Amino acid sequence: MFAVIIIILVIWASMWAFYKFMYPRPPKSMMPKEGDVITPRQCNFCGNSLAEYRGVLETKPIMAAASDNPIDANQELFFCNYEHQADFHAGKIYDPHA
């Protein structure tokens, strides 16, 4: 009976060590800092969803002020990175295999 318990404990311990090794904690720089907005947002280019502070938020103040449509006035664009932002404005269509 004790053998069973010891085997379970040994397996549990080695699995725990294995997962610790396989999935280490992300570095501190990847973690949200104080004041970071962690609301999930969807990329306007590829549709990927990620926390706001990790992506690029773009507000359109000049165009929106001139617009009569109130929906346009507070429209924000969000992107994963500057590459997606550039591709979006270049009028490209998202290609997951590119």
Residue partners of 39: CB distance under 8 A and separation at least 6: 51, 52
Supply the minimum distance, in Å, between the C-beta of residue 88 and Zn ion. 8
Q: How far is the CB of 46 from Zn ion (least distance, A)?
A: 3
Query: Looking at beta carbons, which residue is closest to Zn ion?
Result: 43
Cβ closest to Zn ion, residue 54 vs residue 60: 54
Binding site for Zn ion (CB under 5 A): 43, 45-46, 48, 80, 84
Question: By C-beta, is 41 or 80 nearer to Zn ion?
Answer: 80
**Exposed, middle or buried, 39 (CB in 10 Å: 0-12/13-18/19+)?**
exposed
